[in-house]
Structures are given as structure tokens and as C-alpha cells.
Copies of this chain bind each other. A is one copy, B any other.
Amino acid sequence: MSATAHELNLQAYAEDLARRAAAAAGELAQTSGSARNACLLHAAELIQRREAELLEANRADLERAAHYGLSSAQVDRLRITPGTLAGLRQALVEISEQADPLGEVMESRVRPNGLRVEKVRVPLGVVFFIYESRPQVTVDAAAICVKSGNAVILRGGKEAAYSNRALYGVFAEAIAASGLPADSVQLVDVPDREVVGHLLALDQYINVAIPRGGEGLIRRVAAEARMPVLKHYTGNCHVYIDRAADPAMAERITVNAKCQRMGVCNAAESLLVHAAAAPVLLPRLARALLEHGIELRGDERVRRLVPEANPATESDWYAEYLGPIISIKVVDSLEEAIRHINHYGSHHTDAIVTADAESARQFAARVDSSAVMINASTRFNDGGELGLGAEIGISTDKLHARGPCGVRELTTYKYLVYGDGQIRT
């Protein structure tokens, strides 16, 4: 086949996928919540029954990891264990137990002319989900979409192709068994990158694109998509230690936010310490971070208190390291901390450690981020941790949905207006 014919075929393939998804979405939106829940519970059961087969598929990916040049952190994310599958089953059960969002009457009023106005929750339609690594996300995303009545087109990374296909196969079987439209969940099963571009052009069928992965992937999707995109580019998250911080809590939260898992979007990248607390606290925090193998990059005042710190440059305040580096700054006031975070941060997740209720209130009100943590680790900005059951992504956008996006965030509404012949005068 010539290159052009191949390209034409990819375009036709993408259009076929999208058209099927749109048709399935129309049907899926009309199904009962119990049918959609039955699908999720059946998938949980199949994951248990097919455990050996799923682990085998994952081994095939792990064997090719070296071929794709994956780092050990990437291999770690790729690996599926019996524990991973138990977590997936748990997430499926939790999502199935959530209230059905569809048909919810969000607002209702009767107008003076007798019209009854209802604002009713409905699905978005078709979701195009593009993700890298972490194959279990295949099931999380499919489950969130089916629960919310949205058809989904899944496009995973090539490094997880076997695992994704096996997990998709299980979910597809659950869909068939529960009588939902077969095309409610589809997997892009050609490796060519061009097919993503073709799908991103099909805004007549696809209502939203959700990229999840590295900044490069997300920027590409945001630039190419003709439909709205739910996303965050980076997570430059801050921990601010207020003058009234408890030292042990400050250390515990700083270390957890930075070190518990370094390659994720809600890990801390920057530490701000109030000048009044710095002389006592900063050496202690620095020691704890150094013991975890973290490189410190500080401003002048930090380096006077912590000789091990390297000098920070302007670009460090913007950096999302996703690894064992942290930038540190001494600030003269809560106000300066808030201004620094709103200026240099990525509006993702920022934490304050303080015993002062007024500082906490000010910080919560003025820091313009999707999640603000008061005396808790930044690592909690996560759908599971915040009680959404699972998430399809975390949004730093302000329109539509912000923060972790679960089932409700994949819905919109329509107005239903019931009259008995009213006309406008």
C-alpha cells in the first residue's frame, strides 16, 4: 500500500471509530444506571477471573520495556501486579456504588407564567482519552465514561499495548454481557501516531479530548484538537511553611509532598518558608530532604541557613522537576508566598502548613489553584483520595471542570421546560 493510501485508510479508520462512538453515545445516554453499574461489576469479576491472562499480557510489555528505552520509574508505572488488579476491582466497585449522575435535576423552578424549568444532568457525548503508560488507567477511564453515559475512544501508549489490549478485552466483554452498546468503549488498535491527529479533527463526533501523560503529549493534543480539551500541562506544586507551623508537621508534609512519589503531577517542586520560621525550621527540613537524596536549590537567604543548597535561578521557580530536586525560598510574609505561588505556580495543588486559622483562611481564599491543602500533603489531589472513586485526569482549566475529574465532571446539563401552551409576549 502506498503511503498516501495508508494515510487515507487511517483517516477512514478514525472517522469510522468516531462515528460509531457517537452512535453508541446516543444509545448509552438512554440506558439505566443499573445496566451501567452491572457492566462495571461484571468487569471487576472478569478481572479476577482473568488475572493470569492479564499478568501474562503485562509481562509481554515488560519484556519490551528495554526495547522502548524505558527508565526504571517508567517500568515501575507499567508493571501490573495482583495488587494493581485488586485496586482496579475496588475502584470499579466504588464507582458502581456512586449515585447515577444522569437525569439528576440540578435546579428546578416554576416561573410566574406556570412554566416548570428543570436543569437536568446529561452526558457530554464522546470522550477521546489519550494516555501514556499505567495500563490500569484503561479500566479507570472506561468505567468513569460508562458510568457517566459517555462513549469513549481509548488511545494508550505503545509501551503498554499488550496490557491495554487485554484490559480493554475484559471491559468489552463486560459491556457485551450487560447489553450496553458495543461501541461504547473502543480502543485505537493501530500503532500509527497520525490516527490521533485525525481523531482530534473530528469535532462533529467527539465532544472532549482528555490527554494524560507528559507535557509534550498534552501540548500536542491541546494544539491540534478542534474540540475542547480537559487537561493540566504541569504540576509545579508548592508547600508553604507559615511562621506558625508545627515543626514536626512541617517536616512530615514537606517530605511526603516531595518524596513519596516524585514523578507525579501532585508532588511538590517548591518549598516556601516564612522568614520568622526559617532559622529554626529550614535546617531541619533541608536535612530531612537531603536524607531522601533530594538536591536543594535555594535563594540567597536559604543558602545562608543551608550551606548544602545550590543557587536557584529564575527558571527554578517555574520548574516541574518530576525528580529529586526542590527549589526553596524564604518569604517575608504570607502575602509574598501567595503572590509567588500565583505567579510561578501552575495552579495545580498548593499547601500551607500553619496553626494560624487566619493565615489558612487567607491562603485558601487567595491561592488560585485547583486544590489548596491546609495542613495536608499536596499528594492528596487525586480522585481516589478526594473521594471521587477514580479520576480520568486532573484539570487546571477553570472552565467546565477543575481538579480531579470523575464521573460528574464528565457530564453537562440541558434545560427541560414544561408548559401547557405558554407563548412569549
Residues of A at the B interface (CB closer than 8 Å) are 26, 29-30, 109, 111, 115, 117, 119, 124-125, 207-208, 228, 230, 246, 248-249, 252-253, 255-257, 260, 342, 364-366, 368-377, 379-381, 385-387, 397-400, 402-404, 412-425
Interface of A is mostly: mixed
Known: A419-B376, A423-B252, A424-B377. A402 touches B398 (CB 8 A): no
A373 → B minimal CB distance (Å):
5
A379-B385 Cα distance, complex, nearest whole Å: 45
CB-based contact A253/B421 at 8 Å: yes
A413-B25 Cα distance, complex, nearest whole Å: 28
Known: A207-B398, A417-B380. A385 touches B111 (CB 8 A): yes
Quickly give the copy total for this chain: 2
Pick from B29, B30, B377, B403: contact of A423, CB below 8 A: B377
A185 → B minimal CB distance (Å):
20
A60 → B minimal CB distance (Å):
31
Residues of B with C-beta under 8 A to A364: 416
Pick from B368, B386, B417: contact of A372, CB below 8 A: B417
Can you list 10 A-B pairs, Cβ within 8 angstroms, ordered by A? A111-B386, A124-B398, A246-B421, A255-B423, A374-B417, A379-B423, A380-B419, A399-B412, A402-B415, A403-B415
CB-based contact B124/A399 at 8 Å: yes
CB-based contact B424/A375 at 8 Å: no
Pick from B30, B246, B372: contact of A366, CB below 8 A: B30
CB-based contact B424/A402 at 8 Å: no
Pick from B115, B376, B403: contact of A421, CB below 8 A: B376
